């Protein structure tokens, strides 16, 4: 049987879709910043996912057609538990550190995935990739500057978020080899909602209509961003779309300064740029050797 040729590359379309993706994810962080700390982080995370379950309706057919073995259910549940922890830490960090710092530290997630792939999936780490990982960790130190300023609980929560999301995406790689992407995404939403429920109930405060509207908007922006990111990666190679993700840090800094009165920090730009350059190098090496990688192709907000 003749294999179908891949669709022709459309680099301009890929760049434009990735630009729109970045705006969506910056919109997610801005809305959570506007929400503020009145709604506890576990409850805000739960409401975001619960309200977003409406987007699963088009995916009912592939879900019903999937064979759920005990092993698969266990993997889905484990991934949902990890992701639920990461989302709670992300909502906590969002209300306590500047947008630019949160965005820059979020870039660490693909680095932790690369490390985890070597430790748990048997992937080999060449010297070049080890050097890129080391450079990314140096970038994180530049952002945090321990010893020169206070490293707040928000910073620690964001590092924990990136680490936990790395574990979540390693499990996603295993599941993606067995079931369709639509099922992987759908089951994540279901299990994260279930995992967050008891934590949300423990700290529950009655949300206002305004707060519910903001959280539903967060779900809309996050869903749209993941969809347009897929369109970008279909339209153009990763090496074309990857550099565009750096603009998320630029937009986050601009938004933080103009809307929320956050000071511009050159160290965050330098550290974030070093982290993203490291991710770009790892991604480029994957493309060169034509090996199926597990590192997420873009440090998008994972909510």
Has residue 301 been placed in a domain? no
Phi (first) and psi of residue 85, to 5 degrees: -60, -45
Lowest-confidence pick of 158-172, 183-197, 250-264:
250-264
Q: How many domains in the chain? A: 1
> What pLDDT band is residue 3 in, cutting at 50, 70 and 90?
very low
Has residue 3 been placed in a domain? no
CB 62 within 8 A of CB 183: yes
pLDDT in tens, 24-37: 988 898 899 899 88
DSSP letter (8 states) at residue 121: S
Identify the domain containing residue 45 by its residue range. Answer: 11-289
Phi (first) and psi of residue 38, to 5 degrees: -60, -45
Q: Cβ–Cβ contacts within 10 Å for residue 143, how many?
A: 24
DSSP letter (8 states) at residue 232: H
Note the pTM of the prediction, 2 decimals: 0.81
Has residue 295 been placed in a domain? no
Has residue 79 been placed in a domain? yes
Q: Which two tokens stand for residue 138?
A: 């140096």
Percentage of residues of the chain with pLDDT beyond 70: 89
Lowest-confidence pick of 13-17, 76-80, 234-238, 245-249:
234-238
Question: 3-class SS at 98?
Answer: coil
**Which carries the bigger pLDDT value, residue 225 or residue 8?**
225
Q: What is the DSSP string of 138-185?
A: HHHHHHH-BTTB---HHHHHHHHHHHHHHHHHHHHHHHHTTS-HHHHH
Has residue 34 been placed in a domain? yes
The pLDDT of residue 12 is above 50: yes
Has residue 126 been placed in a domain? yes
Beta bridge partners of 146: 149
Has residue 18 been placed in a domain? yes
The torsion region of residue 8 among left (phi > 0), alpha (psi -120 to 50) and beta comes to: beta
Q: Which two tokens stand for residue 154?
A: 């928000």
> How many CA atoms lie less than 13 Å away from 137 in the CB half-sphere?
10
CA pair distance 80, 165, nearest whole angstrom: 10
Has residue 103 been placed in a domain? yes
């Amino acid at each position: 049987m003749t294999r179908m040729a891949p669709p022709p590359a459309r680099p301009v379309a890929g760049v434009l879709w990735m630009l729109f993706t970045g705006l969506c994810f910056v919109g997610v962080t801005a809305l959570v910043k506007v929400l503020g700390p009145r709604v506890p982080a576990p409850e805000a995370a739960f409401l975001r996912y619960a309200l977003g379950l409406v987007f699963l309706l088009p995916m009912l057919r592939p879900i019903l057609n999937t064979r759920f073995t005990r092993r698969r259910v266990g993997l889905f549940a484990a991934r949902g538990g990890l992701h639920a922890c990461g989302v709670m830490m992300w909502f906590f960090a969002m209300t306590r550190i500047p947008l630019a710092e949160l965005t820059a530290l979020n870039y660490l997630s693909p680095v932790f995935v690369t490390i985890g792939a070597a430790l748990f999936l048997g992937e080999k780490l060449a010297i070049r990739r080890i050097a890129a990982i080391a450079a990314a960790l140096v970038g994180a130190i530049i952002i945090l500057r321990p010893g020169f300023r206070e490293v707040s609980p928000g910073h620690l929560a964001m590092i924990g978020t990136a680490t936990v999301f790395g574990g979540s995406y390693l499990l996603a790689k295993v599941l993606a080899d067995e079931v369709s992407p639509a099922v992987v995404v759908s089951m994540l939403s279901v299990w994260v909602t279930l995992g967050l429920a008891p934590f949300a109930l423990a700290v529950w405060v009655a949300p206002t209509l305004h707060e519910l509207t903001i959280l539903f908007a967060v779900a809309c922006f996050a869903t749209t961003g993941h969809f347009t990111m897929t369109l970008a990666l279909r339209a153009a190679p990763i090496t074309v779309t990857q550099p565009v993700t750096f603009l998320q840090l630029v937009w986050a800094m601009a938004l933080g300064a103009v809307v929320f009165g956050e000071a511009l920090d050159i160290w965050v730009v330098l550290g974030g740029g070093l982290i993203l350059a490291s991710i770009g190098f790892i991604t480029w090496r994957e493309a060169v050797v034509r090996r199926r990688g597990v590192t997420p192709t873009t440090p998008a907000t994972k909510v």
